[in-house]
Amino acid sequence: MAEAGTGFLEQLKSCIVWSWTYLWTVWFFIVLFLVYILRVPLKINDNLSTVSMFLNTLTPKFYVALTGTSSLISGLILIFEWWYFRKYGTSFIEQVSVSHLRPLLGGVDNNSSNNSNSSNGDSDSNRQSVSECKVWRNPLNLFRGAEYNRYTWVTGREPLTYYDMNLSAQDHQTFFTCDSDHLRPADAIMQKAWRERNPQARISAAHEALEINEIRSRVEVPLIASSTIWEIKLLPKCATAYILLAEEEATTIAEAEKLFKQALKAGDGCYRRSQQLQHHGSQYEAQHRRDTNVLVYIKRRLAMCARRLGRTREAVKMMRDLMKEFPLLSMFNIHENLLEALLELQAYADVQAVLAKYDDISLPKSATICYTAALLKARAVSDKFSPEAASRRGLSTAEMNAVEAIHRAVEFNPHVPKYLLEMKSLILPPEHILKRGDSEAIAYAFFHLAHWKRVEGALNLLHCTWEGTFRMIPYPLEKGHLFYPYPICTETADRELLPSFHEVSVYPKKELPFFILFTAGLCSFTAMLALLTHQFPELMGVFAKAFLSTLFAPLNFIMEKVESILPSSLWHQLTRI
């Protein structure tokens, strides 16, 4: 019985909701009919006559002030809407309507059972959306002291946002700390240093950690049975302190390389000691994992220093050795550093070998993978490619493969071609990127633009073919061709990652919201009315009366027809009932 009663109530509720959703026109006409029937006791005609008399007594100055005020208010709304749209990419009025008014009008169903059913149906799409909008560490990120800070000193602009630097602080705490750091004074200091926001405070903490290691400690070592011999030895150097100094205090790449070499010496010793003890408990295992991350990071940055200083072959060898020694640590994406260095050496066969290993359907893609594959295929045909000749004879098999590779790359990240073709200015890449977003496009083009320029005709082929991708995916947010639909969260994340002086690239291109166009038209129309009323008050009065009479003519016609059909004594008959 209880279930039957509950089902009846739910059915009754759904019927009421349906009636208010689809039969609102019926309710509207019923209200109009009641107002018409009650027009005599409510004295509607008298009130309308009074209002019309009041309006006829108003001077043209009143209408000038009215239209001028309307124009001013709509202009202020237009300015605010335009500023909000430029900053956040959406209309303020539309956002408020969707967020606050739509739930009140029944646009959102709060039924938990419906939510659970819909969540089960959309679990795959939600999971894909989360993975697409994940922020990744930029494998080619620059050095803060030697590169980012030098840019700030020259231009006075901050190339990194607070959100980006906060993500880096979280990465450092994840990779360079463990639960046993409090047992070692230097590591305990560095654990606090990675959380510090002030750069000078972090650098001071790193120096303090190194000074602690200079203090000699007496360690009891039982070298001879039944005797105690005291041995004096130095505490192990703090590798993470050297890392912080190399990243943030060193003002040149050469200085950073020297500090990283010192960090390598300290980190390699810690790694070998923790490797022997990793099976003695979970604490030692966590410490070994931390020491492994530190060692891999140091070697990778040393390879990047060699690449910056022109020792590209040495950098390639260091990256290959690092990938062989730690093949499972793919989170650092060292293969993207290797691809860039091999392209600098013009070792295209080695580049193809690396792509054959990492450009796999089961592995996550990146702009570096997709556009490097397109560059290699474009290199085979770009020197002889001519759009006029291709339009006459058609595309050959090699040219078709190159065009398809470019379309594939553009579909993955449509922001890259504008930077490669220098249609948009480059900035320093951030420390974190969003795959398929503007931040990833900047990071790729910053290092790979020179490689595209080195291949004769590659940029010409890209210029002639990249826009054809959009004809294949007319609705990129709903359905993709070779990849998942383009995520809608990229614009918001890129605005957090990229500095404010950079104009974020948006895909697909957003049209102006309706309310911006509406307020612009309203502002222009009311301003024109104010000007005409001020210049020609009598003529505008004639036009206003003619407009109002024309506007109310259909309503007067309908009321006359209704009065001719309905009896004049209907109201009296209703009062008697």
**In this predicted model, which residue has the larger pLDDT, 439 or 288?**
439
In angstroms, rounded to a whole number, what is the distance separating the alpha carbons of residues 373 and 35? 72
DSSP single-letter state for residue 569: T
The pLDDT value recorded for residue 221 is 42
Beta carbons within 8 Å of 341's beta carbon, 6+ residues apart: 303, 307, 312, 315, 316, 319
Q: Are 241 and 209 in contact (CB under 8 A)?
A: yes
Out of 519, 540, 566, a domain closes at: 519
The pLDDT value recorded for residue 259 is 93
Domain match, 325 and 358 both: no
Domain match, 302 and 361 both: no
**In this predicted model, which residue has the larger pLDDT, 268 or 64?**
268
User: Is the model's pLDDT at 17 over the cut of 50?
Assistant: yes
DSSP-derived pairing of the beta strands 216-221 and 229-234: antiparallel
In angstroms, rounded to a whole number, what is the distance separating the alpha carbons of residues 206 and 187? 10
Beta carbons within 8 Å of 440's beta carbon, 6+ residues apart: 366, 367, 413, 415, 433, 434
The pLDDT value recorded for residue 18 is 64
Out of 476, 499, 519, a domain closes at: 519
Q: What is the mean pLDDT of the chain?
A: 78
Q: What is the pLDDT of residues 117-132, one digit of tens each?
A: 444 444 444 444 444 5
Mean pLDDT, residues 354-359: 87
DSSP 399-422: HHHHHHHHHHHHHH-TTHHHHHTT
User: Is the model's pLDDT at 449 over the cut of 70?
Assistant: yes
- 199-209 residues labelled b (16+ CB within 10 A) or e (exposed): eeebbebbebb
**Domain count for the chain:** 2
pLDDT band at 228 (very low <50, low <70, confident <90, very high): very low
Beta carbons within 8 Å of 522's beta carbon, 6+ residues apart: 70, 74
Residue 453 lies in a domain: yes
Q: What is the pLDDT of residues 138-186, one digit of tens each?
A: 999 999 989 999 999 999 899 999 999 999 999 888 888 887 777 788 8
Residue 26 lies in a domain: no
Beta carbons within 8 Å of 355's beta carbon, 6+ residues apart: 339, 369, 372, 373, 376
In angstroms, rounded to a whole number, what is the distance separating the alpha carbons of residues 221 and 174? 34
Domain match, 320 and 423 both: no
Domain match, 497 and 361 both: yes
Q: Letter for the amino acid at 469? A: T
Mean pLDDT, residues 271-280: 78
Out of 473, 489, 519, a domain closes at: 519
Residue 54 lies in a domain: no
pLDDT band at 101 (very low <50, low <70, confident <90, very high): low
Q: What is the pLDDT of residues 382-404, one digit of tens each?
A: 888 877 777 778 788 888 899 99
Among 73-87, 304-318, 461-475, the minimum mean pLDDT is found in 73-87
User: Which residue matches tokens 């007594």?
Assistant: 57
Residue 426 lies in a domain: yes
Coil, strand or helix at 90: coil
Q: Give me Rg for the CA atoms of the chain.
A: 36
> Which is nearest to 477 in space by CA: 506, 497, 502?
506
Residue 90 lies in a domain: no
Residue 133 lies in a domain: no
User: Which residue matches tokens 């890129």?
Assistant: 494
Instruction: Give the CA dihedral 137, 140, 141, 143, nearest 10 degrees.
Output: 140
Q: What is the pLDDT of residues 25-38, one digit of tens each?
A: 776 777 777 766 66
Domain match, 352 and 459 both: yes
- 103-126 residues labelled b (16+ CB within 10 A) or e (exposed): eeeeeeeeeeeeeeeeeeeeeeee
The pLDDT value recorded for residue 219 is 41
User: Which residue matches tokens 């739910």?
Assistant: 10
Mean pLDDT, residues 556-563: 71
Q: Letter for the amino acid at 506? A: V
Domain match, 391 and 503 both: yes
Q: Letter for the amino acid at 565? A: I
Tokens linked to 350:
């080695």
- pTM of the entire structure? 0.68
Domain match, 501 and 376 both: yes
In angstroms, rounded to a whole number, what is the distance separating the alpha carbons of residues 354 and 338? 8
Mean pLDDT, residues 287-292: 86
Domain match, 307 and 409 both: no
The share of the chain scoring above pLDDT 90, in percent, equals 26
Tokens linked to 554:
């259909």
> Which is nearest to 493 in space by CA: 448, 436, 447, 443?
436
Residue 425 lies in a domain: yes
In angstroms, rounded to a whole number, what is the distance separating the alpha carbons of residues 176 and 244? 11
Q: Are 226 and 212 in contact (CB under 8 A)?
A: no
Residue 12 lies in a domain: no
Q: What is the pLDDT of residues 326-341, one digit of tens each?
A: 887 766 788 899 999 9
Mean pLDDT, residues 278-291: 80
The pLDDT value recorded for residue 21 is 58
User: Is the model's pLDDT at 263 over the cut of 50?
Assistant: yes
In angstroms, rounded to a whole number, what is the distance separating the alpha carbons of residues 54 and 531? 23
Coil, strand or helix at 144: helix
Domain match, 398 and 267 both: no
In angstroms, rounded to a whole number, what is the distance separating the alpha carbons of residues 302 and 203? 20
Segments forming the whole domain that contains residue 391: 348-519
Domain match, 312 and 404 both: no
Q: What is the pLDDT of residues 357-367, one digit of tens each?
A: 888 776 778 89
Domain match, 202 and 328 both: yes
Mean pLDDT, residues 232-256: 82
Mean pLDDT, residues 306-314: 93
pLDDT band at 276 (very low <50, low <70, confident <90, very high): confident
Burial of 497 per CB tally in 10 Å (0-12, 13-18, 19+) = buried
The pLDDT value recorded for residue 390 is 74
Domain match, 294 and 427 both: no
